[in-house]
Chains A and B, each alone.
Chain A
Amino acid sequence: MTEVSIERLTKTFGSARAVDGISIRIADGEFISLLGPSGCGKTTTLKMIAGFEEASEGAIRFDGKDVVNVPAEKRDIGMVFQNYALFPHMTVDQNLAFGLEMRKIAKPEMLSRIAKVLDMVQLGGYSDRYPNQLSGGQQQRVALARALVIEPKILLLDEPLANLDAKLREEMRVFIRDLQRRVGITTVYVTHDQAEAMTMSDRVVVMFGGRIAQIGAPSDIYERPENLEVAQFVGQVNLVRGTILGGTITGPAGAGKSRVASVFGDVAVDSRADHAPGTAVTLSLRPEAIELKPAGQGGAQGKVMARYYSGSIIDYRIALDSSETLHVQTFPNIRIAEGDRVSVHAPADGFWLLGAAQ
């Protein structure tokens, strides 16, 4: 049961600041993801929490106690690596026993703990296999079991699903998430895959260039991105130009909204900050929020440039008559073909005001 507090954590390599003064408070039992492109400092942050990298500045507290000067082997963490890092010369049992031996756990307890954890990861009966006799997914579960069997204070995962194929990856997401809930262990998960971060985490930390761009619940990050960079990283997004109109919006539904004139008419758009009337702004519009109808049914008018069928959804590229291009995702039950003219409707709650236009 551990609360982790990261305070102004910095890591410099020469003059480069890989991690630049980040602060995160992780609640007991929380599942936090560090999400960002490669080189954003997420792995370096994880390694500092684990103790494999020395922090240049700042503090890392486990339940209020600064662990910056505690070596990795004394931090009591469980770590899962991208390539699993199972000891190839040891059986599954021996891999799991290793951490318990380091803790001088008595043999009977050791055996019962190993059996319990193997059962939890659904690998009972695999005790005597060597890692090279297991599939990728099984190895991943052994790695998870090895990290959990020592009952660490926190669980750290470094892109653990990156080496698995797509179907297995989706299964493992759910598996890891459920397991984490059941065990109730504080977890930090590093990934560059936004879908993974969204489905698994209580909160997502989006990082760019060693800094935190936004911390929030997955829905927060997706629906109310702090800036264009975040919006583009966590999903596909259309950018729509607009101008702030004067006048206030009244009523509880209008709180925090701005009236914006755009190609879709006047819309009341959610925003974080107020802008003066007349300001040119950029709105984001998620592709799945847009509705396509046959031409002549109101809304903005345009033409279908391309259509990509992918089973559960269809992707459309629409060229609006106002010369903007839109990316639209719909369920495959509408019959609109390439070259068709269409009416494009966007509900007000599909928009988000990103900020003043650049």
Chain B
Amino acid sequence: MKRPVLTLYCLLVYAFLLAPILVVVGASFNAGNFLTFPPQGLSLRWYVTFFHNDVFMRAIRTSLWVAAVATVISGTIGTMAALYYVQHAGRWKEAVRIAMLAPLLLPEVLTAIALLFFVYAIGIGTTTMIGMVVGHVLITLPFVFINVSASLESFDPSWDMAARSLGAGRLTRFRRIMLPLIKPGVIGGALFAFIISFDTFTISFMLKGIGTSTLPIQLFDYLRTNFTPEAAAVSTVSIVLTLVVVIVSEKVLGLRIHRF
């Protein structure tokens, strides 16, 4: 430890960030009836309760489903937008960037209310999940856009020209040259999109279909009337799910950046 002050500072920052999570995880193994920390005895009973709770199970399925669909749509649109932004936007570049990042700049509750008006105005309403998926796509789009355009900025146009000179058509060039080289950006962006969609409350709260619920909303509902360690178990499971998604994508798809 060459720099004790700096080391201490870093440890404090980590403690500040991670302590609440540790508290939640710890509380989830509570044997008692109340959400307390430190736990009163160790037990997995609240996990059992959670896995037998149909309402929570339905909510977690809905959350995963919406996050997956939103990620695919957002990943596709965001990547295409980034391509346009980096390669063709010309003097509209700044305008395109601001438009794409607008959902980040606006308070989420405004976006949610505006979308709510909109889905009713065009007659879709909230009887289906369409409105909620659109909302999730909207708020996750900037993350895909930022990540993909960052990796596109380091994509050398002469790679594309070289591939052309070797006889590759547009689709082949995209599939074999560009996509592999911007993959870290696309996957990074998609991960962000998935996690943010899985996590978001406001948009889901306004736009969720009648009778459906995502995990954060269900948890909120639950905590209004109950204060059992089941809530901590739910939170722990959702943290683990998020970690699993990150690790699996890293292993399977590869997040490593090519070093040139």
Structural contact, A89 and B181, CB atoms closer than 8 A: yes
Query: Within 8 Å of chain B (Cβ to Cβ): is A225?
Result: no
Known: A83-B156, A102-B172. Is A72-B260 also a contact (CB below 8 A)?
no
Q: State the CA gap A52–B177 with chains docked (Å).
A: 17
Interface of B is mostly: helix
Which residues between 131 and 154 of chain A lie within 8 Å of chain B, taking CB atoms?
Answer: 131-132, 146-147, 150
Query: Within 8 Å of chain A (Cβ to Cβ): is B168?
Result: yes
Q: Nearest chain-A residue to B177 (Cβ)?
A: A87
Structural contact, B158 and A81, CB atoms closer than 8 A: yes
Structural contact, B156 and A150, CB atoms closer than 8 A: no
Inside 8 A of B258's CB, which chain A residues have their CB?
88-89
Query: Contact size class for A?
Result: 20 to 34
Which of B21-29, B41-49, B119-127, B159-167 contacts its partner?
A: B159-167
What is the 8 Å Cβ interface bit string for chain B, positions 170-189, against chain A (1 contact, 0 not)?
00100011001100000000
What is the 8 Å Cβ interface bit string for chain A, positions 67-99, against chain B (1 contact, 0 not)?
000011111111101110111110000000011
Inside 8 A of A79's CB, which chain B residues have their CB?
161-162, 165
Structural contact, B172 and A81, CB atoms closer than 8 A: no
Q: Nearest chain-A residue to B167 (Cβ)?
A: A102
Q: Which of A50, A88, A150 contacts B167 (CB 8 A)?
A: A150
Structural contact, B161 and A98, CB atoms closer than 8 A: no
Q: Which of A74, A75, A87, A132 contacts B162 (CB 8 A)?
A: A87
Q: For B162, B163, B259, which residue has the most chain A Cβ atoms within 10 angstroms?
A: B162
Inside 8 A of B166's CB, which chain A residues have their CB?
73, 98-99, 102, 146, 150
Q: Nearest chain-A residue to B165 (Cβ)?
A: A79
Known: A85-B156, A98-B176, A132-B259. Is A72-B162 also a contact (CB below 8 A)?
no
Inside 8 A of A73's CB, which chain B residues have their CB?
164-169
Known: A83-B156, A87-B177, A132-B260. Is A102-B168 also a contact (CB below 8 A)?
yes
Inside 8 A of B180's CB, which chain A residues have their CB?
89
Q: Nearest chain-A residue to B176 (Cβ)?
A: A98
Number of A-B residue pairs at CB separation under 8 A? 67
Structural contact, A103 and B167, CB atoms closer than 8 A: yes
Inside 8 A of A89's CB, which chain B residues have their CB?
180-181, 258
Q: State the CA gap A114–B121 with chains docked (Å).
A: 63
Q: State the CA gap A86–B162 with chains docked (Å).
A: 8
Inside 8 A of B167's CB, which chain A residues have their CB?
73-74, 76, 99, 102-103, 150
Q: Nearest chain-B residue to A98 (Cβ)?
A: B166
Inside 8 A of A52's CB, which chain B residues have their CB?
161, 164
Q: State the CA gap A156–B158 with chains docked (Å).
A: 14
Known: A98-B176, A150-B167. Is A85-B260 also a contact (CB below 8 A)?
no
Structural contact, B181 and A77, CB atoms closer than 8 A: no
Structural contact, B159 and A85, CB atoms closer than 8 A: yes
Inside 8 A of B172's CB, which chain A residues have their CB?
102
What is the 8 Å Cβ interface bit string for chain A, positions 342-357, against chain B (1 contact, 0 not)?
0000000000000000
Q: State the CA gap A71–B258 with chains docked (Å).
A: 30
CB distance from B112 to the nearest CB of A (A): 41
Inside 8 A of A76's CB, which chain B residues have their CB?
167
Q: Nearest chain-A residue to B170 (Cβ)?
A: A73
Q: Which of B164, B165, B169, B181 contacts A88 (CB 8 A)?
A: B181
Which residues between 240 and 260 of chain B lie within 8 Å of chain A, taking CB atoms?
Answer: 258-260
Inside 8 A of B260's CB, which chain A residues have their CB?
88, 131-132
Q: Nearest chain-B residue to A100 (Cβ)?
A: B166
Structural contact, B163 and A98, CB atoms closer than 8 A: yes
Inside 8 A of B158's CB, which chain A residues have their CB?
81-83, 85
Inside 8 A of B163's CB, which chain A residues have their CB?
87, 98
Q: State the CA gap A75–B180 with chains docked (Å).
A: 26
Q: State the CA gap A271–B86 with chains docked (Å).
A: 54
CB distance from B36 to the nearest CB of A (A): 53
Q: State the CA gap A77–B162 with chains docked (Å).
A: 10
Inside 8 A of B177's CB, which chain A residues have their CB?
87
Q: State the CA gap A76–B176 with chains docked (Å).
A: 19
Structural contact, A85 and B176, CB atoms closer than 8 A: no
Structural contact, A81 and B259, CB atoms closer than 8 A: no
Known: A102-B167, A132-B260. Is A81-B161 also a contact (CB below 8 A)?
yes
Inside 8 A of A71's CB, which chain B residues have their CB?
164
Structural contact, A78 and B165, CB atoms closer than 8 A: yes
CB distance from A158 to the nearest CB of B (A): 9
Structural contact, B259 and A50, CB atoms closer than 8 A: no
The 9 closest A-B pairs by CB, nearest first: A99-B166, A102-B167, A85-B158, A79-B165, A85-B162, A72-B164, A81-B158, A73-B164, A88-B260
